[in-house]
A and B are shown apart, each in its own frame.
Chain A
Amino acid sequence: MRKMERLSSIYLVGVFIVLYAPIFYLVYYSFNSAGTMYSFEGFTFDWYREVFCDTRLFIILLNTIVIALLSSAISTVIGVLGALAITRVKTKRFRNALLTLNNVMIVSPDVIIGASFLVLFTMIGINLGFGSVLISHIAFSVPIVVLMVLPNLEEMSPTLIDAAQDLGASRWDVLTRVVIPYISPGIFAGFFMALTYSLDDFAVTFFVTGGGFSTLSVEIYSLARRGISLTINALSTLIFLVTLLLVLGYYIISKQGAKPGKAGVRE
């Protein structure tokens, strides 16, 4: 039994090492003055300096952040409305149809979403660039928001709404003072997921971005196709740190939000 335990911890540690090795490999060589991803020569911050001095890269970074924040905010609104709509649909068949269509978007491979949106935008006549990227990011983030909000709405007792209405709340009041506060953990989780979807996306953006507009993922791809450049390493170290902070922040906030009995209580 002892031996089994030791074997199992070796296995787990092995998986951990393999999962994290590439990330730390990137980070390690981002300080290499030799400019290659092998044979560490000396310690340098040059590549980081290059990242911060590159105005083109800075604009691309801004683009990425603006797209991520705008698309996740808008898709959260549409997604919450969608979840509200789904819970209100009484016919089971219509409801299932809506949920299936919602899931189709979630399981669709990025290539299909990208290619079909490219066709769609060309048909309608939307120019490829900021607008098309923003619209696609909104479009593929909506279903995940719906899925995050739906469980919260379904567990909400209808008596809460009845009570509010009995006490004279208007429909708008019921929505903003009772329903929205109750489902706020779901809304928050949905917004966060939409944010990461948008920041992570490469394939869809790659299809619908024209020549002039680029996000970080697309830029890294075109840099990486040209071969190794330690600027990417420096950039990825920074992205890694930001991701870590985001996940940590999300974890802390969702822990607080999950405390029972606080829903809808104003402090």
Chain B
Amino acid sequence: MQGRTRNIYLIPYMLWIVLFVVAPIALIMYYSMFNIDGAWSLENYRRFFTPVYLSMTLRSFWYAILITGFALLIAYPTAYLLTKTEHKQLWLMLIILPSWINLLLKVYAFIGILGFYGPINSFLRIIGIGSRQILFTGFSFIFVAVYIFIPYMILPVFNALEELNPSLVDAARDLGASPWATFRRVIFPLTVSGVKAGCRAVFIPALSLFMITRLIAGNRVITLGTAIEQHFLVTQDWGMGSTIAVFLIIAMGLTMIMTENGKLVK
């Protein structure tokens, strides 16, 4: 009896897994072994390890690290202060609300804000620095990406802070720990799982976003995502695109393993 029901439910779901999770990844790996002429070779992998692609990859990682770092730097205090407010669920919802709005629209807004005649440049003119090109630089890319990702970092950190037993903080204070020592030795170690979850939610997309780089950074910043999009949709070199995708998948796997540890310890 039980066996038959189990099979019935499993059929559509397994079909979905095989078709849309296993097959696409397998196909990407398969395609990565064909060069642009459609011949079987490992040429793409050799090309990936040439300076052009390696420096692109390293720079993409560096940008992702910066974005994750700044997002954490802003999000952690925000989440902490949120837990101290009255009506914190309402405040949290207000913080999360902008993340429901279509990503493209927010990015589009920054084309105006950071533009040559936009408010930021007017402000710079007023305080005497003078207007400068902000759009289409690495800075604008990091700025907009951090803006986009802040809510995704706040949420897991907030949840971790909520789970923290407040009597532990009181105990540390009673035993004479300074606020900084309390934070460093008690609060932060106990909320590391939330930080890890937040970093995972930010780091992988930061490596792979191609729309922000195109709209905000011009072609100044090329992330792994931009490179994949370029190879698939512009130069039609699916083999090389797949090879970069394979490395992005590896990076994703490593990030997941590294951020998973927190849960095991807990």
Verify A111–B225 contact, CB threshold 8 A.
yes
Give the distance in Å from the alpha carbon of A140 to the alpha carbon of B113 in the complex: 33
Verify A105–B20 contact, CB threshold 8 A.
yes
Verify A81–B104 contact, CB threshold 8 A.
no
Is B97 an interface position by the 8 A CB rule? yes
Verify A105–B6 contact, CB threshold 8 A.
no
Cross-interface CB contact of A228 among B85, B112, B225, cutoff 8 Å: B112
Verify A82–B13 contact, CB threshold 8 A.
yes
Distance between B68 CB and nearest chain A CB, rounded to angstroms: 14
Is B38 an interface position by the 8 A CB rule? no
Q: Which residues of B contact A246 (CB under 8 A)?
A: 100
Verify B81–A112 contact, CB threshold 8 A.
no
21 contacts between A and B (CB under 8 A): A12-B82, A19-B150, A22-B110, A22-B147, A23-B105, A82-B16, A85-B10, A98-B17, A101-B22, A109-B225, A111-B208, A113-B24, A139-B19, A142-B20, A200-B100, A202-B102, A207-B229, A207-B232, A220-B108, A228-B111, A228-B115
Q: Which residues of A contact B175 (CB under 8 A)?
A: none
Give the distance in Å from the alpha carbon of A172 to the alpha carbon of B214 in the complex: 52
Contact mask for chain A residues 217-243; partner B; CB cutoff 8 A; 1 contact, 0 none: 100110011011000100010011001
Q: Which residues of A contact B122 (CB under 8 A)?
A: 38
Verify B147–A119 contact, CB threshold 8 A.
no
Interface of chain B, helix or strand or loop or mixed? helix
Distance between B206 CB and nearest chain A CB, rounded to angstroms: 10
Give the distance in Å from the alpha carbon of A246 to the alpha carbon of B150 in the complex: 22
Q: Which residues of A contact B118 (CB under 8 A)?
A: 37-38
Give the distance in Å from the alpha carbon of A108 to the alpha carbon of B248 in the complex: 9
Verify B24–A119 contact, CB threshold 8 A.
yes
Verify A120–B204 contact, CB threshold 8 A.
no
Cross-interface CB contact of B200 among A8, A26, A107, A220, cutoff 8 Å: A107
Is B181 an interface position by the 8 A CB rule? no
Distance between A53 CB and nearest chain B CB, rounded to angstroms: 21
Closest 7 A-B residue pairs measured CB to CB? A37-B112, A116-B24, A109-B208, A82-B13, A22-B109, A85-B9, A139-B20
Give the distance in Å from the alpha carbon of A220 to the alpha carbon of B215 in the complex: 11
Q: Which residues of B contact A118 (CB under 8 A)?
A: 232
Distance between A114 CB and nearest chain B CB, rounded to angstroms: 8
Q: Which residues of B contact A19 (CB under 8 A)?
A: 95, 98, 147, 150-151
Q: Which residues of B contact A206 (CB under 8 A)?
A: 211, 229, 233
**Known contacts A107-B256, A112-B208; A247 and B24 CB within 8 A of each other:** no
Give the distance in Å from the alpha carbon of A115 to the alpha carbon of B256 in the complex: 21
Q: Which residues of B contact A93 (CB under 8 A)?
A: none
Give the distance in Å from the alpha carbon of A50 to the alpha carbon of B91 in the complex: 36
Give the distance in Å from the alpha carbon of A15 to the alpha carbon of B245 in the complex: 35
Distance between B112 CB and nearest chain A CB, rounded to angstroms: 3
Is B101 an interface position by the 8 A CB rule? yes
Give the distance in Å from the alpha carbon of A102 to the alpha carbon of B224 in the complex: 24
Contact mask for chain B residues 14-38; partner A; CB cutoff 8 A; 1 contact, 0 none: 1011011111110110010000000
Verify B12–A109 contact, CB threshold 8 A.
no
Q: Which residues of B contact A88 (CB under 8 A)?
A: 2, 5-6, 9-10
Is A18 an interface position by the 8 A CB rule? yes
Verify B207–A202 contact, CB threshold 8 A.
no
